[in-house]
């Protein structure tokens, strides 16, 4: 009976010691560029509403400053503020040659992206997972010689509005999960940003584009189900920034730098202006104070800071790529250089504290609670959340899992306690089982040896002469 008990304990310990191994959790990170936190308030969005009921909805999230596309998307991928990850602008530039590259060309300039911070694709792959990306800013670059395992970037002059293409791309991504067993994918849509720029965030055109986004959210979840992914795929949908209406047509006094007394572009070696409400200036040697003093206080809606004086809350100073003087305008205003050349009705790039710069957030999947609305948090916290769900060790980052773990069905602390408990139970039972097995072996060996000795004595007795048998008997 002892050996039966030992085997039973070994079996029990193996069952209890094994992790609760549901199918490995996967993560799909989706960005709808420029989707402001309140865009679902003036439009019927049944699919986004259902996603909130089936999962988690945040009131809003706060992006990092500078609130433009490439820098804020790289924060989603790294969990780092922009001064720390170094992708400080949509445009690559060289202050020595005064060259500048527009957004699309900058996507392919490797050194702009690969400057010490690893996106989640590379971290996941280094820890044995498979990762991919479709159209997400940063996809075309390599990082320390590595790239996302499966990747695709948009061609030049890409039509970001085509709903049919959106569905085709969705099925492609779900196919990557199913057929290539990817664990993580980042997936980018260029709307409603383009529509918000062209027509303004309060326009009927923007409302129609939000309806298209909502239909696509429904299709994404439907496609996940059709590909057999619903039970282990967690979908996180957010955006890089919001959108503000630009004031024009004589409604306000526009900001035009050449109209400011005492300011001259001749005092600059390099500048980035005419790209919305933000700008950076590199004065010529010895001209910094002159430029700064001319601009400071020159317009009631223009903020001017020396790099070292930037508010700490913006985390936009401690990087060599950031130029010595930083400008940004109040919501509704853009910064013009020589004369107004910007004609968008909507813009972003404003202070990230402004409510119109806040994006939306939804999450659904087996890792998340259902029908839970949470308060606002910073988008740097999405990275550690994704790493936790994937079960990977994050790189150094500026986020905290504590900011989001209340969204999860099992928090990190509870999970770790449960795993420790299982490990302790396993260790204890394994020790008991091992001891019993040793006892069983010793007792069995002893019994076998005893029987062998008895048999040997019997055999020897059979071969003794008759008188010797009698002596032994008498003895």
Task: Compute how many other C-beta atoms are within 10 angstroms of the C-beta atom of residue 235.
Answer: 24
Phi-psi bin for 86: left (phi > 0), alpha (psi -120 to 50), beta? Answer: left
Q: Tell me which residue of 360, 136, 80 sits closest to 242, measured CA to CA.
A: 360
**DSSP 8-state secondary structure symbol assigned to residue 368:** B
Residue whose token pair is 């055109």: 205
Measure the CA–CA gap between 461 and 455, rounded to whole angstroms. 10
Would you call 80 helix, strand, or coil by DSSP? Answer: coil
Q: Tell me which residue of 424, 415, 384 sits closest to 13, measured CA to CA.
A: 424
Residue 466, C-beta contacts closer than 8 angstroms, at least 6 positions apart: none
Q: Angle 204-226/46-54 helices, nearest 10 degrees?
A: 50
Catalytic residue among 45, 62, 67, 69: 69
**Cα separations (Å) of 77 from 56, 133, 367, 404, 430?**
20, 11, 19, 16, 42
Q: Tell me which residue of 302, 303, 264, 267 sits closest to 283, measured CA to CA.
A: 267
CB 276 within 8 A of CB 349: yes
Q: Give me 10's structure tokens.
A: 């070994």
Measure the CA–CA gap between 117 and 460, rounded to whole angstroms. 83
CB 207 within 8 A of CB 323: no
**Paired residues of 270 in beta bridges:** 282
117 classed as catalytic: no
Phi, psi at residue 184, to the nearest 5°?
-140, 135
Q: How far apart are the first and last CA of the chain?
A: 39
Q: Angle 204-226/163-179 helices, nearest 10 degrees?
A: 30
For 359-383, give one letter per residue: b (16+ CB within 10 A) or e.
bbbbbbbebbeeebebeebbbbbbb
The residues assigned a catalytic role are 69
């Amino acid at each position: 009976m002892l050996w039966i008990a030992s085997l039973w304990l070994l079996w029990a310990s193996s069952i209890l010691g094994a992790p609760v191994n549901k199918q490995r959790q996967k993560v799909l990170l989706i960005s709808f560029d420029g989707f402001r936190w309140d865009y679902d308030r003036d439009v019927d969005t049944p699919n986004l509403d259902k996603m909130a009921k089936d999962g988690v909805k945040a009131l809003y999230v706060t992006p990092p400053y500078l609130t433009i596309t490439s820098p804020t998307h790289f924060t989603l991928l790294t969990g780092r503020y922009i001064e720390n990850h170094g992708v400080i602008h949509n445009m690559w530039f060289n202050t020595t040659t005064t060259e500048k590259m527009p957004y699309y060309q900058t996507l392919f300039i490797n050194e702009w992206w690969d400057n010490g911070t690893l996106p989640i694709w590379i971290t996941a792959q280094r820890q044995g997972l498979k990762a991919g990306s479709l159209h997400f800013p940063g996809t075309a670059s390599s990082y320390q010689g590595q790239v996302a395992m499966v990747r695709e970037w948009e061609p030049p002059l890409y039509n970001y509005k085509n709903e049919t293409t959106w569905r085709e791309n969705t099925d492609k991504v779900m196919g990557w999960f199913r057929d290539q067993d990817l664990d993580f994918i980042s997936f980018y849509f260029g709307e409603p940003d383009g529509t918000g720029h062209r027509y303004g965030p309060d326009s009927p055109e923007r409302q129609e584009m939000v309806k298209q986004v909502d239909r696509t959210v429904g299709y994404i979840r439907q496609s996940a189900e059709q590909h057999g992914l619903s039970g282990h795929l967690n979908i996180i949908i957010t955006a890089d920034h919001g959108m503000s209406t630009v004031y024009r047509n004589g409604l306000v006094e526009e900001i035009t730098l050449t109209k400011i007394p005492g300011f001259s572009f001749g005092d600059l070696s390099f500048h980035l202006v005419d790209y919305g409400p933000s700008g950076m200036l590199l004065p010529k040697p010895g001209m910094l104070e002159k430029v700064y003093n001319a601009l400071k206080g020159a317009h009631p809606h223009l903020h001017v800071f020396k790099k070292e004086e930037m508010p700490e809350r913006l985390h936009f100073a401690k990087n060599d790529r950031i130029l010595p003087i930083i400008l940004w305008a109040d919501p509704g205003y853009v910064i013009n250089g020589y004369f107004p050349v910007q004609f968008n009705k909507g813009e972003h790039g404003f202070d990230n504290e402004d409510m119109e710069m806040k994006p939306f957030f939804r999450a659904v999947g087996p890792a998340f609670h259902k029908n839970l609305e949470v308060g606002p948090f910073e988008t740097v916290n999405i990275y550690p959340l994704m790493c936790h769900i994937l079960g990977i060790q994050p790189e150094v980052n500026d986020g905290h899992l504590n900011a989001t773990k209340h969204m999860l069905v099992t928090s990190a602390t509870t999970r770790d306690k449960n795993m420790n408990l299982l490990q302790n139970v396993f260790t204890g039972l394994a020790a008991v089982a091992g001891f019993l097995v040793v006892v069983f072996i010793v007792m069995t060996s002893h019994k076998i040896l005893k029987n062998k000795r008895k048999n040997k004595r019997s055999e020897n007795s059979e071969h003794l002469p008759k008188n010797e048998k009698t002596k032994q008997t008498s003895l």
